[in-house]
Structure 1
Amino acid sequence: MKTYRILFTVILLIGLCRHSEGLFNSISLQDYVDSFVDAAKFKIEEKLSLNDSTISHIWSYFKTKYNRVYSSIDEEKERFRVFRDHLRYVLESKLEKLRTYELELNEFADWTLEEFDLFKKGLIISTSLRRNIIDNQHHYHLRRIKRILNKRRYKNKRFFREWFSNLIHGNDKNNNQSTDLFDWRTKSIVSSVKNQLKCGCCYAFATATILETLYVLKTKSQNIIDFSAQQIADCSSNGNNGCSGGNFPPSVRYLLGQGGKIATEASYPYAGKKQTCQTNNLNQIDLGNIEYGAIPEGDEKNLAEVLMNYGPIFIGLDADSKRFMFYKSGVLQIKNCPTRRQDMDHAMVVVGYGYDNILKIPYWTIKNSWGTKWGEHGYLRLAKDSGNMCGIASMAYYGKLT
């Protein structure tokens, strides 16, 4: 009997060794963290008490799972300090009351915020836009007074319209919200989520996503062709800056200069870094004439209408928050999140909107370029009609192929 037990143990250990890589891939870092948190009952009087032994176990798991090797003991000490702070931040977020979203520790856990901004963002506002912002500053107070007066008149008219409508039809606001849903993904014309890796070219991936869907709509094709974000990052130098940022208008102007043509991803694959612009042996798709327009600043209603009529929309967001860095699921809401156009620092694509019947919150559905393991399989849900949350409609562009 002892012989069988010994043999079984040996076989089990061999199996565990062989499948250790699969084990690390199947169990997320946050699941591993939560197993320790639940077992040790760190939630004591609404505060977290983490002992060094527990943090060390989680740190070891993180390094193994993401193959982290540091150049020196000093660097590892600094990375551990960053990791420990992020671990505490994510765990403490679970203690917040009335949360509508969930955070999780992920592969960015040993990155500083400065590194995250450098590698995972990359939206820059154009010189002309920056100049317009400066030129318009002295008109700010006059416009503000005008907006306040218009807002008051609008609220008064809206109050009487809604009062009269409710009197005739009854109040069915919640029923309407529950069916307020639109999503281009349901039409199978949105390409797969990509990963920009350590290159600040989110603008290139967002531009490619817009054009991919527009080309399917124009040609009525049954298949989506992935376009080359690498080409946009490498070649659109007039207004864009490779892995150091860019925007939608300069990207479109570059493609117009190429006769409205763009290379396929297969012929000009993504490298995760800026390269010399390639011009030979490319499979080019003729998009035709590319037109684009801007959503009126802060107008979420117009954003929704244009989304339905034209296709997915290029947006800028102020993603300067750990909530974006460690977002896992739910409807993200950030109190006092900046909405000024000059604060937008990350490009994404709005593909739809909906209403969460459990949370009772309308939301935007947004495609990101940080891989499928981030967020809801690479997507973010952001609070809709909530004061232009994080600038969702502050720097938004739509496109057309004619």
Structure 2
Amino acid sequence: MAPWLPLLSLLGLLRGAVSAPPRRAADAQAWEPVTPELLRPARFALETYNRGRAAGARAVLGAVSGRVRRAGRGSLYSLKATLEEEPPCSDPMTCQLPVSKKTLLCTFEVLDELGEHTLLRGDCGPEDAKVADDRNETFSSFFPLLNKDPLPQNFSTEMVSLFKHFIATYNRTYETEEEAQRRMSIFMNNMVRAQEIQALDRGTAQYGVTKFSDLTEEEFRTLYLNPLLKEGLGQTMRPAKPVDDPAPPEWDWRKKGAVTNVKNQGMCGSCWAFSVTGNVEGQWFLRQGDLLSLSEQELVDCDTLDKACMGGLPSNAYSAIKTLGGLETEDDYSYRGHLQTCSFTADKVKVYINDSVELSKDEQKLAAWLAKKGPISIAINAFGMQFYRRGISRPLRLLCSPWFIDHAVLLVGYGNRSDVPFWAIKNSWGTDWGEEGYYYLHRGSRACGVNVMASSAVVD
């Protein structure tokens, strides 16, 4: 019996001791059989896996399936493959015991940018593994940029204790034993993933347990991120006039009363609405002197250019606000976190906008504009944010490509911590995430595409 199963039973999460196989992903039908296009990244992943291994201990590629997501000049390949490892001794005349090949089941993520491949993630385990145990290969994960030590013997025990604390902290309950078991397995794999991200971060960020730690990457993306942003096919906006004044050394609109409290989008991909209302709240405050918490639900329900909880674009949202005639307040049109029938009432409009503008992609010019004009709506690649806890995040560019922006947020300030420059970013995942709801991203390196989709409403 795996050592963590009795401990899990003591937590009241399980009564049995047999691990159920992981549930098939909802989009499993999207996985395609091998094609020449999929073989290229699969062979690259295999080469990376074999790197440093003796000639007689290298694996060969077996079956391959996968899918591809494209954005800009890049493609992200998600692959499933079997690898066959040659036995350490293949000559029956000299081997003392008969041995056979070892088959591994692997998943890979390979990024192709202009023909250059990078292995973002690779996870391999025995093909016939049915029950999670304390052997390293069950939770094995090789990461080409990280030469980490084998997992400690007490890894599973420590993870059970951490999972127990997670459940208590975030008040988690699971409907069935199977679901509790599955979530714990996801949690364990996520903690390994968080350690990998931590080791590769070049900033001061800390990654670990968050309220999203029992979600798969696919679930997290589906529930909280915005796939439409990377397409960038929204309404055309005119360029903003540049600000002539140089950017001050630091700036924070929170200290000047232009930013409302952190909100929570819930399990709805409506970040685009929160990003835009945050910007409009700041613009209205700077022109009218009145800070109002505006309605995201109005945009979710009434913006016909966007797709409610399925994602949207700030440029479309500005256009919708103009078409509707303005925004109601949160009090008058409260947030529900799912699509409803539009119940917009023109008589309750408290805020209007006159136009919207696209801002410079130069970070120094963005800082100057922000300090003079107010908080800015931006979109970023959310790599690592599922496990972000605090500090200034600076992922490797290849891991946080600007071609894969998938989350809209609000730029409210900038500064330095111990000589590390940062952007202060208001998120929409509640105050129980990050630094009281805020995310800090490295400034000056175009980290995670922070500069690629900056915009603002115009209030005359």
TM over 0.5: yes
Distance in 1 separating the partners of 2:256 and 2:296: 23
Q: Hey, what does 2:321 align to over in structure 1? A: 255
The answer to whether the 8 A contact 1:310-1:400 is kept is no
The answer to whether the 8 A contact 1:122-1:245 is kept is yes
Structure 2 residue 139 is the aligned partner of structure 1 residue 70:
no
Q: Hey, what does 1:324 align to over in structure 2? A: 385
Residues 74/306 of structure 1: CA separation in 2 closer, same or farther (3 Å cut): same
Q: Paired residue for 1:301, among 341, 357, 364?
A: 364
Output aligned runs, 1:197-216, within 5 Å.
Answer: 197-216=266-285
Distance in 1 separating the partners of 2:166 and 2:420: 34
In structure 1, the residue corresponding to 2:395 is in which secondary structure? coil
What's the offset of the Cα at 1:93?
5.7
Residues 329/307 of structure 1: CA separation in 2 closer, same or farther (3 Å cut): same
Residues 191/61 of structure 1: CA separation in 2 closer, same or farther (3 Å cut): same
Distance in 2 separating the partners of 1:341 and 1:99: 18
The answer to whether the 8 A contact 1:55-1:84 is kept is yes
The answer to whether the 8 A contact 1:123-1:347 is kept is no
Output aligned runs, 1:294-373, within 5 Å.
Answer: 294-296=358-360, 298-319=361-382, 321=383, 323-337=384-398, 342-356=403-417, 358=418, 360-373=419-432
Q: Paired residue for 2:307, among 235, 241, 244?
A: 241
In structure 2, the residue corresponding to 1:353 is in which secondary structure? strand
Gaps of 5+ in 2: 1-147, 237-245
Identity over aligned pairs, percent: 30
Q: Which is further off, 88-97 or 264-273?
A: 88-97
Q: Which amino acid aligns with 1:107?
A: K
What's the offset of the Cα at 1:55?
2.4
What's the offset of the Cα at 1:74?
2.7
Q: Hey, what does 1:181 align to over in structure 2? A: 250
The answer to whether the 8 A contact 1:349-1:368 is kept is yes
Structure 2 residue 450 is the aligned partner of structure 1 residue 392:
yes
What's the offset of the Cα at 1:354?
0.5
In structure 2, the residue corresponding to 1:355 is in which secondary structure? strand
Distance in 2 separating the partners of 1:96 and 1:131: 37
Q: Hey, what does 1:29 align to over in structure 2? A: none
Distance in 1 separating the partners of 2:378 and 2:314: 9
In structure 2, the residue corresponding to 1:193 is in which secondary structure? coil
Q: Hey, what does 1:291 align to over in structure 2? A: 355
Distance in 1 separating the partners of 2:273 and 2:438: 17
**Which is richer in helix?**
1
Q: Hey, what does 1:277 align to over in structure 2? A: 342
What's the offset of the Cα at 1:342?
4.7
Scaled by the length of structure 2, the TM-score of the pair is 0.61
Residues 337/381 of structure 1: CA separation in 2 closer, same or farther (3 Å cut): farther
The answer to whether the 8 A contact 1:306-1:398 is kept is no
In structure 1, the residue corresponding to 2:233 is in which secondary structure? helix
What's the offset of the Cα at 1:269?
0.7
The answer to whether the 8 A contact 1:126-1:247 is kept is no
Distance in 2 separating the partners of 1:100 and 1:213: 29
Distance in 1 separating the partners of 2:227 and 2:284: 24
**Which is richer in strand?**
2
Distance in 2 separating the partners of 1:368 and 1:54: 31
Q: Which amino acid aligns with 2:282?
A: T
What's the offset of the Cα at 1:91?
4.8
Structure 2 residue 267 is the aligned partner of structure 1 residue 267:
no
What's the offset of the Cα at 1:123?
5.6
The answer to whether the 8 A contact 2:203-2:442 is kept is no
The answer to whether the 8 A contact 1:267-1:281 is kept is no
Residues 97/208 of structure 1: CA separation in 2 closer, same or farther (3 Å cut): closer
The answer to whether the 8 A contact 2:296-2:335 is kept is yes
In structure 2, the residue corresponding to 1:370 is in which secondary structure? coil
After superposition, give the CA deviation of every residue in 1:78-115 in whole Å (9 maximum; x if it has no partner): 21111011223335666669651111301111101111
What's the offset of the Cα at 1:267?
0.8
The answer to whether the 8 A contact 1:353-1:363 is kept is yes
What's the offset of the Cα at 1:62?
2.3
The answer to whether the 8 A contact 1:123-1:316 is kept is no
Q: Which has the higher contact order (CA 8 A, sep 6+)?
A: 1
The answer to whether the 8 A contact 1:267-1:282 is kept is no
Distance in 1 separating the partners of 2:359 and 2:300: 24
What's the offset of the Cα at 1:122?
2.1
Distance in 1 separating the partners of 2:421 and 2:259: 22
Structure 2 residue 188 is the aligned partner of structure 1 residue 124:
no
The answer to whether the 8 A contact 1:292-1:399 is kept is yes
Residues 249/56 of structure 1: CA separation in 2 closer, same or farther (3 Å cut): same
What's the offset of the Cα at 1:58?
2.5
The answer to whether the 8 A contact 2:259-2:281 is kept is yes
Structure 2 residue 157 is the aligned partner of structure 1 residue 53:
yes
